A and B are shown apart, each in its own frame.
Chain A
Amino acid sequence: MKTIPPLCPEPETGPKYWRSLEQLADTPEFRAWAEREFPAGASELKDGATRRDFVKIMSASFLLAGLGAFGTGCRRPEEKIYPFSKLPEGYTHGVAQYFATSMPNRGSAIPLVVKSHEGRPTKIEGNAQHPDSNGATDTFAQASILNLYDPDRAQRFTRGGNTVARETALDFLAQSAGKFAENNGQGLRFLAERSSSPSRARLQAMLRQKYSQCQWAVYEPVTFDHHREASTLAFNQSVTPYYKLDQANVIVSLDFDFAGGEEDSTRLIRGWAAKRKIAKPTDSMNRLYAVETLMTLTGANADHRLRVAPSQVLAVAARLGAEIETLTGGSPGNKLVELGTAVKQHEKWITECAKDLVANKGKCLVVAGHRQPLAAHVIAHKINVALGNLGSTVLFHQAPKAYEISIAELAQDLKDGKVETLVILGGNPAYNAPADLDWAKLQGGAKSVIRLGYFEDETFQATKRANDWHLQQAHYLESWGDARTSDGTVVPVQPLIEPLFGGVTEIEVLARLAGLDTIKPHDIVRATFRTLSTADDFEASWKQFLHDGFLANSAHKSIAVNFNAEAANKAIEDTATAPAATKDKLEIIFHRDYSVDDGRYNNNGWLQELPDPISKMVWENVISISPQTAQDLNLVIKDNEDMNLQVPWVKIDLNGRSVEGPVWLSPGQADNTLGMALGYGRKETGRIGRNSGFDAYRLRTVAAPNFASGAKLNPPARTYQLSCTQNHWSMEGRPIIREANLQEYRDNPNFAKGMNMPEPPSNQPLYPNPLDELRKKPNVMHQWGMSIDLGSCVGCSACMVACQSENNIPIVGKEQVYRNREMHWIRIDRYFTGEKTDPQMINQPMMCLHCESAPCESVCPVNATVHDEEGLNVMVYNRCVGTRYCSNNCPYKVRRFNFFDYNRRPLDQLAGPFYPTPLTHTTDGKLDLLRWFKDPDRGNKPTDEWDLLKLVKNPEVTVRMRGVMEKCTYCVQRIEGAKITQKVKAGASGEVRLTETAHTIPKTACQQACPAEAIVFGDVSDPESAVSKLKSQQRNYTVLDFLATKPRTTYLARIRNPNPLMPDFKEFPFSSQEYTAKNGHHPADHGAPAAHPATEAKKGAH
């Protein structure tokens, strides 16, 4: 029977979800853009190469191909196999090995299990056995493996900028130790990064003992020390807070971006998400209030969000504190009331929020973020104390007393000429120290500088005087070390590979400088472990430690604290009210970047190409501004017909300093503020980070490191081209994301299905379902499917990097992203709804949904995309001829095409503007075409890139070439791997089914990385599997259900939990209101999916 495709319902009264301001404006340009198969530029060759060039290249290629056929094509090259001469113990070629280790970050660590193929680490996973981890990782941990193979990392020891032998450098450290021993470390200064390593702490103590005159400074450009400092102040003992979000029913974030901006986001997201997953309408869930300046991931997931300038967060805290005091029967101090007057216009918001907190005494939490002044933290503690949250939602751990000075004090010593030898351990102060210190010059105040660094960066450039030494740092996957996770559990850092370039670790340098006998990092860590382990059998305990990846029962014990009201009140008294920001006196907020952190991941291609979760910008940072302020300042941000993001390039002045950068509208940002991400605009970096973004550090000073007021935005001089994934693959405002408020969900649990479109006028799917036939086959055991919970997905993007790492997905560069050719298999669609000044934001991870009746399959002329009998929509690269019909016919736009040989593209060509012609371009002094002819595998990659970057590839996944379509495979290599393992185990028996009870079902890479556990994969033919249970929930719905594509991946609708008493309460989420406005009925009016009359009639006829 001929089937008529259903009409796609068009928005009648404007779009429902808008992904960008252009879409909200619904311009003709946008419509033209949205109706194309691929966005403009993606499918055309718009490069500088002319038709004539093209013919030239093609004819030359044919000539060479012809020659090749005569020369080599007739016989295959002889290949050699080089076996071991002596097999390493416990090694089987081809079987991956896993090692437990951890990635140290500032004050904590992420416990990891790292996969190693033939001695090279290839994939990072979280360690689910660790007592305070669910096996999740963040974007940085996932991407850190690429840093290991970074061809731009420091590869030599230098003195005065000239290469010296490793031994020479190490001898020098020993000599220095002798010298310091004589003068008690007179003039010796250390500048280190924050670390949780017990070994480093032990060595530091030994150094202090040996060299009584030495000083130790710690500097982090983005520091989370305020949490410890404020608790220490408020409780009169050295403690650090440990927040338990999973225990809190009400959470108030005072600029506390736990979903990505703070440390330990994986743990905090897990805690928050635990109370967002509701299985049935009667379940309760937590409520999140966010007070913030920028639109952050936390704000996007909040039930109530208050936009205020960064300096006003303290005022909100004060007002909230005063309300709580009043409500709990105390009397707020005058100062709190005085501070709170600045936010009088938000009085009702704060009062109702306070009432909600009081109603949840002991089960709520107020936290101030790392950018906020100590007073804001102290007020938050005061509230937590008043509400009895201590011991339930916030615990305190003993923090060792820090014997350290600040970078400003160190700078003073340098200025005063007190410093003989400055040892810089990691970090990059010449780039990221406060601008008023002028570090690059200041560093010259020391007679000699010894610097341990991972890159030859800005600080390396400042460390080139005759007496300056530069030591290359080993990657954590090459090092022995240790750390503590935030709960205090001791975790090992153990190497998976010998240092690729002979680098040294921080603790080794310290041990050598201390003149110790034990200088091998392994021995140092073992010696430290001896002091930590209480087991009788040390060897067994050490082995267990390395095997498990943590020391059991080594977590900090929570300690009882007493609130020191006097000190707290004093801290509050000492603060002054900040003046309100205006359009001529803007406030700048400097924030940690979701992609490159503080700049440490600037040369990491995966992170550079990871779209910012809010702005969806890649490869650079922008000056974000609220739409209202942009209008006030007469900034016009317009697009041309290609959705070409030409934005004003402006100069920002702040107290005599200035930076220049592109401005970008950020819906939901506080008015009269400017957001600037740190970590870009590097002067000295590798081939990836070069020319990306602007350097916001140039405005940061010692006095105002987090936010500063009084900035002026000058009228734009020119426009600038941005690359952004924001407008790509729009879904045209259909009910793709479904959400409801908790009350509405309780009243009408089937609201999500109520948004289904009428079914097509046929009970046959539009495309044949190959599984109908395949299901009849015996011995088909599994049917794979996935469920994604939009209620707990925060949009952190860890899944994107995990997928990139697992599936050998290339990076394409800024210029190719601008042409809409990014390759991510999983993307996170970000939608805004409502007014652009204060919108609601929603995330939706989107990848191949593995439709049973897949539209892509029926249009492929070469059967390169077909179904397998377990329900996977399989993509066969070796069959694909690149017609791109499949992508054209995919309603979800999840297929990715290799327009170029991205895996073989030299890194310095990523910036564009386009590929140089191989006829004239030379690499390493040789013509590209000849290089390619001699070694087609490697293409034109320079030797160092090729040798290193091929090591990161997963050998279980094909590396795709130019002209091939690709997309999410549900990690088919893991599924097949698990099936093979089970079959090998089964041998001559029938025990071949993978089951959840036996834990043999594999996890996909995205699922494994997800801290919220929002992605669940499994066997849908097993009704007891987790995924089947999720799919049977009432919140379950299918995206674009009316196409009857029957996707295997379905979504759980998002539930918001707003407080009805709040002034900004909306009975229905904006998206739901817009749905009603368009369709003329509310989801609640349809209890069950609407059935098309034609379908009904036909069913009746049977």
Chain B
Amino acid sequence: MSDIFPKRTNKLPGLVIAGALLVGTSVTAGVWYYFTPKYTRVGYQPKQPVAFSHAIHADQLGMDCRYCHNGVEKSWYSNIPSAGTCMNCHNQVLKDDPKLALVRESAATGKAIPWVQIHKTPDYVYFNHSVHVTRGVSCVKCHGEINKMDEVRHAKPLSMGFCLDCHRNPESQIRDPKDVYNLSLEINPEVQEKMGKQFVHDWKVNSSQNCSACHR
């Protein structure tokens, strides 16, 4: 009587177990990583339509962040500058540079430059730039050392845990509002602690950890 099952089926249970383990592990790992705030876009660095360098503008030339992002102290949103803002200088400087062709075209025709969005919070999160920058939270705290970047990169996780780290302990983060846009400022941790405590007391900082602070 011939075998009903060929001999190679003997390996099947082992393969099934190994396969199940493999699938199980990858599912667990996947959920572990992707389903938590750790899955953020740190390191995301898309190619922008115009090769704008923050390193050159903010660091080498020393331009203030607010020259371009002029709504940051008024609005929840830190605006991307209009092409007109670029042309304030670039109608003189590098006025025929081919890299700026898109900017010139936009300024002339009114067609918007399609910048690629990097930093983004979910729709149910209401983050407000103005209240952070006017109360001593520097750009660098969330965006990293953007003044050193040639192409903007997502530097910090911007997950809820990241927000709460600071909201639970504002002393360690806030600085004098006049230093907010000084991204390279190094503050000695001891000084920061002392200064931070003073500011939290004097300015009645209540960095709310209530849900209603961000979710409405």
Contacts and interface: CB of A to CB of B under 8 A. Distances in A.
Interface of A: 76, 78-87, 92-95, 779-781, 866, 868-870, 872, 874, 876-879, 956-959, 969, 972-973, 975-976, 980, 983-984, 986-990, 992-993
A988 B208 CA distance: 18
B73 interface: yes
A122 to B, nearest CB: 15
Nearest to A954: B216
Contacts of A85: 82-84, 106-107, 109-113
Nearest to A989: B203
Contact of A969 (B112, B124, B216): B216
Nearest to B200: A779
B211 interface: yes
B145 to A, nearest CB: 22
Contact of A878 (B117, B124, B204): B124
Given A85-B109, A93-B77, A984-B73, A78 B210 contact: no
Interface residues of B, number: 53
B64 to A, nearest CB: 17
Contacts of A93: 71, 75, 77, 79
A819 B112 CA distance: 48
A988 B176 contact: yes
Interface in B178-216: 199, 202-206, 208, 210-213, 215-216
B84 A984 contact: no
B210 A81 contact: no
B134 interface: yes
A465 B84 CA distance: 52
A85 B205 CA distance: 38
A869 B76 contact: no
Contact of A95 (B75, B177, B205): B75
Contacts of B71: 92-95
Interface in B58-115: 70-71, 73-77, 79-85, 106-107, 109-115
B131 A980 contact: yes
Contacts of B123: 958-959
- Most chain-A Cβ atoms within 10 A of its Cβ — which of B109, B116, B177, B215? B215
B130 interface: yes
B126 A94 contact: no
A989 B202 CA distance: 7
B46 interface: yes
B77 A94 contact: yes
B212 A80 contact: no
Given A85-B83, A956-B216, A972-B212, 14 more contacts: A78-B117, A84-B82, A84-B112, A85-B110, A94-B77, A95-B74, A868-B210, A868-B211, A868-B212, A958-B216, A976-B213, A984-B74, A988-B203, A992-B203
A876 B209 CA distance: 13
A726 B100 CA distance: 65
A87 B84 CA distance: 7
Nearest to B109: A85
A83 B204 contact: no
B204 A874 contact: no
Contacts of A87: 82, 84-85
Contacts of B208: 868-869
A82 B202 CA distance: 40
B126 A976 contact: yes
Nearest to A986: B203
B148 interface: no
Nearest to B112: A82
B84 A86 contact: yes
Contact of A987 (B75, B116, B134, B206): B134
Nearest to B107: A85
Contacts of A872: 210, 212
B122 interface: yes
Given A78-B46, A94-B75, A869 B210 contact: yes
A878 B122 contact: yes
Contacts of B204: 779, 781, 990, 992-993
A984 B131 contact: yes
Contacts of A82: 112-115
Given A81-B115, A976-B126, A983-B131, A990 B212 contact: no
Q: Which 5 A-B pairs have the closest CB atoms?
A: A868-B210, A94-B75, A94-B77, A82-B112, A779-B206
A969 B210 CA distance: 14
A781 B206 CA distance: 9
Contacts of A983: 131, 134-135
Given A80-B114, A958-B124, A86 B107 contact: yes
Contacts of A990: 202-204
Contacts of B173: none
11 contacts: A82-B114, A93-B79, A95-B71, A95-B74, A869-B208, A874-B215, A876-B215, A878-B215, A969-B216, A988-B176, A989-B202
B41 interface: yes
Nearest to B133: A984
A79 B115 CA distance: 9
A81 B204 CA distance: 36
A874 B211 CA distance: 7
A95 B70 CA distance: 13
Contacts of B77: 93-94
A976 B128 CA distance: 10
A950 to B, nearest CB: 13
B120 interface: yes
A92 B83 contact: no
A1081 B215 CA distance: 48
Nearest to B76: A94
A923 B191 CA distance: 64
Contact of B116 (A78, A86, A781): A78
A92 B73 CA distance: 10
A872 B210 CA distance: 10
Contacts of B205: 779
Contacts of A972: 212, 216
A92 B70 CA distance: 8
Contacts of A869: 208, 210
Nearest to B120: A79
Contact of A973 (B131, B134, B216): B216
Given A878-B124, A878-B215, A83 B134 contact: no
B173 to A, nearest CB: 15
Contacts of B215: 874, 876-878, 958
A826 B84 CA distance: 47
Nearest to A973: B216
Nearest to B85: A87
Contacts of A780: 206
Contacts of B130: 980, 984
A811 B83 CA distance: 41
Contact of A874 (B124, B206, B210): B210
Contacts of A76: 41
A661 B85 CA distance: 64
A366 B202 CA distance: 61
Contacts of A986: 135, 203
A94 B203 CA distance: 26
Q: Which of B114, B205, B210 has the most CB of A within 10 A?
A: B210
B82 A92 contact: no
A83 B79 contact: yes
Contacts of B199: 988
Given A95-B74, A869-B208, A972-B212, A83 B80 contact: yes
Contacts of B211: 866, 868, 874, 876, 879
A519 B114 CA distance: 39
Nearest to A779: B206
With most chain A CB atoms within 10 A of its CB, the pick from B82, B136, B202 is: B82
B109 to A, nearest CB: 7
B40 to A, nearest CB: 10
Contacts of A969: 212, 216
Contacts of A95: 71, 74-75
A363 to B, nearest CB: 48
B43 to A, nearest CB: 13
> Which of B77, B85, B109, B211 has the most A CB atoms < 10 Å from its CB?
B211
